[in-house]
Every structure is written in C-alpha cells, then in structure tokens.
C-alpha cells in the first residue's frame, strides 16, 4: 500500500510538473506576443505622432508647388487624436475630418473659408485632390499622399 501511494504521489507530482511547464511555456509565448503587440502599437503611435506636424506642399500631381502657387504655398496640419486636419489652401483656411490607420488615410468633409483669390481654381483643385487620398507615406522630413498607387501630393515639414 505504501509503495502504491508513493507511485501515485510520483505520478501526480509528474503530472503537475508537466502541466506547470506547459502553462509556463504558454505564459512565455503570451508574454512574447504581448511585447510584439506593444512594439507594433508603439511604432504606429510614433508614426501618428510624427504626422502631427505642420506640412508645406512641395508638389501637386507631379508639378512643383512654385509653378502652381508662386507666392503662398498650401500647408496642412494633422490632429490625429481629434481625427481632424486643418490648413491653408493658398488663400483660404480649411479643415476636415481625418480617418487614419497605419498607412491608410482618408480626409473627408473638407470646408474652407470663401475669400476671393486669384488662384481660386488651383486652390479648389488642391482641396479636391486632398479628398481623393487613400494612402500616406511618411519619412522624417517628407510626407507623400497617394490615391490608388499614384502619388498626388508631396509635403515637407514646415519651418
């Protein structure tokens, strides 16, 4: 009977030990996944934070901004946490709603002030193109806005 109790105790002990090791491995795997997820979330947050700058237009539809807006270059500012954009379209101020997810971006509901301007057509084209954008690419000093794989707008960090 003593021998059977020792054997049973040993079997139970080995079972608990095996179960514990399995649980420990699962916990380590979960911890690794949590760290990876946190890293990805942090990187996405850093990218969004980098977007929250004032950006000055340098190129529109492949044309240098100086050719289109010789005096006052359009700018845009992203307020990621508020899901908003605002900026200067060359003569008028504008604002709109922002939808952002990793490299996906959509700017909708753009409204602008209504000053009479000599470059009103160009300004309206800029605002229309801005609302076509569906993807963005961000480097340290440059922001590119794309639609269906075509580069539409290029910006640099404003001074």
pLDDT exceeds cutoff 60 at 133 = yes
Kindly indicate the confidence band of residue 27, based on its pLDDT and cuts at 50, 70 and 90: low
pLDDT in tens, 113-131: 999 989 999 999 999 999 9
Per-residue confidence (pLDDT) for residue 145, from 0 to 100: 98
Strands 104-112 and 54-60 turn out to be unpaired
Q: What is the pLDDT of residue 49?
A: 76
What is the average pLDDT across 59-72? 96
Confidence of residue 43 (pLDDT cuts 50, 70, 90): very low
17 pLDDT more than 60: no
pLDDT at 140: 86
Could you tell me the sign of the dihedral formed by the alpha carbons of 109, 113, 116, 122, in that order? negative
CATH architecture group of domain 52-157: Beta Barrel (2.40)
Nearest CA among 61, 47, 119, 53 for reference residue 85: 53
Q: What is the mean pLDDT of residues 42-71?
A: 84
Q: What mean pLDDT is reported for the chain?
A: 84
pLDDT band of 41, cuts 50, 70, 90: very low
27-31, 69-73, 107-111, 112-116: least confidently modelled range: 27-31
Is it the case that residue 59 has pLDDT exceeding 60?
A: yes
List the beta bridge partners of residue 60.
63, 153
In DSSP notation, 2-56 reads HHHHHHHHHHHHHHHHHHHHHHHHHHHHHHHHHHHHHHHHHHHHHHHHHHSSEEE
């Amino acid at each position: 009977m003593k021998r059977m109790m020792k054997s049973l105790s040993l079997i139970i002990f080995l079972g608990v030990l095996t179960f514990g090791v399995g649980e420990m491995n699962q916990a380590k795997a979960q911890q690794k996944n949590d760290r990876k997820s946190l890293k990805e979330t942090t990187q996405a947050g850093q990218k969004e934070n980098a977007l929250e700058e004032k950006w000055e237009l340098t190129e529109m539809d492949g044309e240098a901004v100086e050719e289109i807006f010789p005096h006052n270059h359009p700018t845009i500012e992203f307020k990621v946490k508020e899901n908003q954009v605002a900026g200067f379209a060359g003569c008028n101020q504008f604002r709109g709603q922002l939808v952002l997810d990793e490299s996906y971006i959509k700017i909708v509901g753009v409204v602008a002030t209504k000053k009479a301007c000599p470059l009103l057509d160009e300004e309206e084209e800029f605002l229309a193109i801005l609302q076509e954008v569906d993807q963005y690419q961000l480097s340290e000093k440059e922001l590119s806005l794309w639609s269906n794989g075509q580069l539409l707008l290029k910006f640099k960090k404003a001074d």
